[in-house]
Amino acid sequence: MSLIELSRKKSPWVIHVGTGGCNGCDLEILACLTPRFDASRFGVMSTGNPKHADIMLVVGPVTLKYKEIITNLYNQMPDPKVVIAVGTCASTGGIYQGCYGHCGSLDKVVPVDVYIPGCNVRPEAVIDGLVLGLDILNEKERKILEEKKKSKGAA
Amino acid sequence: MLKILANIGKNLISKPYTSNYPFTPYQHFPGVRADVTFDGTKCILCGLCQRSCPAECILIHKEQEQIEYLNTQCIRCGYCVRVCPTNAISQNEVYTKPSRQRLTVYTKVTNENAPVIKKRMAAEAAKKAAAEKPATAGTGPAKPAGEKKVDEKKTSA
Amino acid sequence: MKTTIQFGPQHPVWVEPLRLKLTMDGEIVKDCELEAGFCHRGLEKKFEWDYNKGAYLSERICGICTQHHSTCYCTAVEGTMGLEIPRRAAVIRTIMLELERLHSHLLAIGLTLESIGFENLFMLCFRNREIVLDMFERTTGNRVLHGINIVGGVIRNIGPEMAKELEDFCDIMEKRCLDLKDMILKSYTIRERMQGVGVMSEQLARDLCVVGPVARGSNVPYDIRAVAPYVLYNEIKVKPIVETSGDCWARSVVRVRELFQSIDIIRQCIPLLADAGEDIFAKSKTLPEKEYFTRVEAPRGELFYYAKGKKSKEMDRIKVRTSTYGNGPGFVPLIKGSHLADVGLITITFDPCIGCFDR
Amino acid sequence: MDVKTVTQQEMQDVARRLRAAGTRLITIVGYDSGDTIQVSYFFQPFPEGKAETYRVVVPKHGGNEEVESITPIFPAAYIAENELAEMFGVHVKGVPGRFFLHESINAPLRRKAP
């Protein structure tokens, strides 16, 4: 295990993106990072910069105006990256089904790895989702390393 | 200064405030709202929950005699529990675990008092009575009762 | 030399998306342009819907003031039907409203402190907030979106045991809030950072018709609980809390002082539960047909719902005017002429809720 | 809820009178009844008094309706008038008329004439 892989496993940095739901799940993510459900125990740190982030936590249905921005954020994140749809709205659209102002669930815009159902999600569920997201992150990392080895061997 | 010392002493003795969640079991208060479960032995397939659900997450298939519940789309409001005339819907207290796919739960309805099933059984009985000789084929649908199944939702909203 | 800075939509200060286009001259903001609509989902169209489902939809306009939204919606729809809710339901609604004000103000104070880099007190605010959320989980069944308000009353009762627990909760909360108040008001650092920043004069506050703690921080005693009393505020008299200086400090102090006001109101409500009758739900015999409007004092200010029925289960028109909608025009004149470092602080003391603003 | 129906010109005078008396503007509500667009103005006298409602009825002319702006009198009306313009597809004089909506959506709350 390389040093980078180890550090990534031990300390994933998350970026929190609110795309226009109610703020319920936003608050629960904040509650996750604060004393009661301290996610920093696993080295999770919230960052405002997508270029430093490994995991993207997305809240809310993707509104039409935000569609472009969230693809930009996704493209700015370095590989390997994991997208977690937090809450019902981000996963499927939830109660906002059929509103004209948004383009439905998150997976129509960017590929989603983990769905956390719940309206609003409990902080425990967010922690569970982060743990599941870490596994996926490691899988992706390994895949990238194998591909690199293969290309090196071919050369 | 003395106050600070007292505070430090108190904090040294007291337990940590942080809940140790993934290593200790999940704790909650009674009456917490989470996803719902359908009781196939009580449901009469009236379709009231489907019409009243704000998030359109319950689909009643009358022909297949089963209830499709889109767990990921449910908003846990509990309105279906209140409107159900036969108390066939109950609300769980433990949240749904995160998953890699969207969750859909199918419930098979086996209540013999449901009008649709009564009609079918009456029709079957009539068929049986009308044609005694040819053996009737099994008409039961493929999925057994209460089976949980994970699959991708096919149609988009 | 003039430069243009895009502040947002994804910015660490705000949880939610909002864009400010700042034209800078050195460190000073010369011009500011507000762009909203990143959260616009089109809920007013969606509200042309079954009025029972609308209560759940109105809750999901904003996750921080859910109870205020659904109370306001339910009162408006009850008005169109001419329905009066039972007294016990009114008491329960009032308790929930005040609990929600507590948690919203703690959140706002915490975020303000975080934006000036005071992480410790931010964590302490959130720690205190968790007690309120626990109380919510016990009484309503969910931490943030409560879902107990329906048209005609509430669906969960507060029994005598829960009332006793609420009393204990008030004692604990008051103690913790006193600690918090001491720490904030006596802190030299916080005062020096926030005093004199983003001053909104009384005249400007009156001109722009700002609402809530923003108006009360600028010496405008505008509080719907006192001006146009709703549910139980006819009996429980509320005196608006006013600060005179109108800067970021004044707005924060108003919020700190309102914590104690809320605790006091909850204390006054608990004895009313004992002799309030057993009914918590009144079934309506008519369908919504008239037009009606209600106002509620949400944690961020005045919240307005206009409802119009058409003698069927579907509503004809629901208009939502939220408190950030009223405070929105106030951003721009305050930001003009301030330093770039203060932009985040000024906007966060308005306690912006973009989910409300855009709907 | 009692509503006073006024013409557009009277509304300007009413707004000026209320502004001089220190009244607060709550909001502007639009409503499409099919063949007319009703614009209701809600005011709250301050520090005390009952809320007042004034209504202007604008007949529909296929998207060319014009509403007089009260933003010069009440600066607080800016967002509300923008919203009125973009939601109902009317022209409010002197406001840009696009604040919340994405470019691809036009006048979502406007109904078809019966």
Chain D positions with Cβ closer than 8 Å to A: 101-102, 104-105, 108
Chain C neighbors (3+ CB pairs < 8 Å): A, B, D
Asked if residue C79 lies in contact with residue C307, where contact means CB atoms within 8 angstroms, the answer is yes
Q: Return the pLDDT at B151.
A: 47
Mean pLDDT of C318-343: 83
Q: Which of C41, C72, C227, C305 to mutate to test the interface with D (most CBs of D within 10 A)?
A: C227
Among all residues of chain B, which has the CA nearest to that of A127?
B22
Among all residues of chain D, which has the CA nearest to that of C204?
D75
pLDDT tens over chain A, length 155 residues: 566 666 666 778 888 887 877 788 888 888 888 888 887 777 888 887 888 888 888 888 888 888 888 888 888 888 788 888 888 888 887 788 878 877 877 888 888 888 888 888 888 888 888 888 888 888 888 888 888 888 888 76
Q: pLDDT confidence of B147, banded at 50, 70, 90?
A: very low
Mean pLDDT of C188-211: 84
Q: pLDDT confidence of C97, banded at 50, 70, 90?
A: confident
Q: Return the pLDDT at A8.
A: 64
The two structure tokens encoding residue A152: 């090196």
Q: Return the pLDDT at D1.
A: 73
Instruction: Express as a percent the part of chain C with pLDDT over 90.
Output: 0
Q: Which of B11, B17, B18, B105 to mutate to test the interface with A (most CBs of A within 10 A)?
A: B18
Backbone angles phi, psi at C126, to 5 degrees: -70, -30
Per residue in B95-130, is it b (16+ CB within 10 Å) or e — as a string? bbebbeebbbbbbbbbbeebebbeeeeeeeeeeeee
Element containing residue B8 per DSSP (H, E): helix B2-13
For residue C340, pLDDT over 80 is answered with yes
Among all residues of chain C, which has the CA nearest to that of B95?
C142
- Interface check A101 vs D, CB under 8 A: yes
Q: pLDDT confidence of C76, banded at 50, 70, 90?
A: confident
For residue C18, pLDDT over 50 is answered with yes
Peptide bond into C240 cis (omega under 30): no
Chain B neighbors (3+ CB pairs < 8 Å): A, C
Per residue in C135-160, is it b (16+ CB within 10 Å) or e — as a string? bbbbbbbbbbbbbbbbbbbbbbbbee
- B11: CB partners within 8 A, 6+ apart: none
Peptide bond into D96 cis (omega under 30): no
Which of B33, B52, B79 comes nearest C141 by C-beta? B33
Q: Return the pLDDT at D75.
A: 83
Rounded-to-integer distance, Cα A78 and Cα A50, Å: 8
Q: How close does chain B come to A4, measured CA to CA in Å?
A: 25
Mean pLDDT of C257-279: 85
What is the rounded average pLDDT for all residues in chain C?
84
Asked if residue C335 lies in contact with residue C32, where contact means CB atoms within 8 angstroms, the answer is yes
Q: What is the per-residue DSSP string for A105-144?
A: -GGGTS---EEE--TTPPHHHHHHHHHHHHHHHHHHHHHH
pTM for the predicted model, two decimal places: 0.87
The two structure tokens encoding residue A83: 């997208």
Q: pLDDT confidence of B153, banded at 50, 70, 90?
A: very low
Which of C302, C306, C328 comes nearest D79 by C-beta? C328
Rounded-to-integer distance, Cα C347 and Cα A65, Å: 21
Q: Return the pLDDT at A3.
A: 67
Is residue B38 classed as helix, strand or coil in its secondary structure? strand
Rounded-to-integer distance, Cα A113 and Cα A85, Å: 8
For residue C4, pLDDT over 50 is answered with yes
Q: pLDDT confidence of B157, banded at 50, 70, 90?
A: very low
Q: Provide the CB-side half-sphere exposure for A56 (13 A, CA).
A: 31
Q: Return the pLDDT at C128.
A: 86
Instruction: Express as a percent the part of chain B with pLDDT over 70.
Output: 84
Of residues C106 and D94, more confidence is placed in: C106
Return the amino acid letter for C354.
I
Spatial strand order of the sheet with D52-59 comes to D3-6, D52-59, D36-44, D24-32
Mean pLDDT of B1-18: 82
Of residues B22 and C236, more confidence is placed in: C236
Query: How many residues comprise chain C?
Result: 359
CB pairs under 8 A between A and D: 10
Handedness of CA C111, C199, D51, D41 (dihedral sign): negative
Q: Return the pLDDT at A27.
A: 82
D101 contacts on C by Cβ (under 8 Å): 37, 40
Rounded-to-integer distance, Cα B2 and Cα A94, Å: 54
Q: How close does chain C come to B133, measured CA to CA in Å?
A: 53
Cβ <8 Å between A64 and D102: yes
Q: pLDDT confidence of B145, banded at 50, 70, 90?
A: very low
Return the amino acid letter for C166.
L
Rounded-to-integer distance, Cα B31 and Cα B81, Å: 13
For residue B155, pLDDT over 60 is answered with no
Residue C299: closest CA among C72, C49, C118, C92: C72
Cβ <8 Å between B157 and A121: no
Q: How close does chain A come to D81, measured CA to CA in Å?
A: 20
Helices (H), D34-90: 78-88
Task: With both helix axes pointing from N to C terminus, report the angle between C87-115 and C160-185 in degrees, rounded to the nearest 10.
Answer: 30
Asked if residue C138 lies in contact with residue C95, where contact means CB atoms within 8 angstroms, the answer is no
Q: What is the per-residue DSSP string for C173-209?
A: HHHHHHHHHHHHHT-HHHHHHHTTSS---HHHHHHHT
Element containing residue C250 per DSSP (H, E): helix C248-274
Asked if residue C75 lies in contact with residue C97, where contact means CB atoms within 8 angstroms, the answer is no
For residue C92, pLDDT over 50 is answered with yes
Task: With both helix axes pointing from N to C terminus, report the angle between A24-33 and A123-154 in degrees, rounded to the nearest 10.
Answer: 80
Residue pLDDT, tens place only, D27-75: 888 888 878 888 888 888 877 778 888 888 888 877 677 888 888 888 8
Cβ <8 Å between C60 and B29: no
CB pairs under 8 A between A and C: 121
Cβ <8 Å between C227 and D47: yes
